[in-house]
Amino acid sequence: MKKKEKERGGKMRVIIMILTFMLILTACSFGDNMNENKIISNMKAEEENQYHIYSFWTDVTEIGDFDYSRVDLTVVRLIAAHKSEHEYAKALKINEFPTFIVLDNEGIVLRTTNVNEMNEFLKDFQME
């Protein structure tokens, strides 16, 4: 009897360890998603019909063709130009530069590494 009880106790210990390990893995991945969701929430525009643009780059020459000069600033705001080491770049898993992220009040509208695509998006918001 004692041998079976030891075996059962050993199996229970293994099951508890596996469940604990799975719980830790799940909590860690949930935390990463929460971090990303929190950052996106912080990045979003406050009102409808407004956009925030974030650019992430390693060298300012990468965004040299980015044309923000005639954009209606009451609608589109360039919130930040971050280098690749920034915590937002890490949390959003950005590993190609430059990367542009445009957000409205609901979330990400455009995410691109193409400067021309970004400029094309901005054409709709140019001042006359």
Least confident of 23-27, 44-48, 69-73, 79-83: 23-27
Alpha-carbon distance values, 96 to 56, 57, 71, 116 (Å): 9, 8, 25, 16
Confidence of residue 68 (pLDDT cuts 50, 70, 90): confident
Q: Which residue has the higher pLDDT, 83 or 120?
A: 120
Residue 126 in this model has a pLDDT that exceeds 70: yes
Contact in structure between 50 and 105 (CB atoms under 8 Å): yes
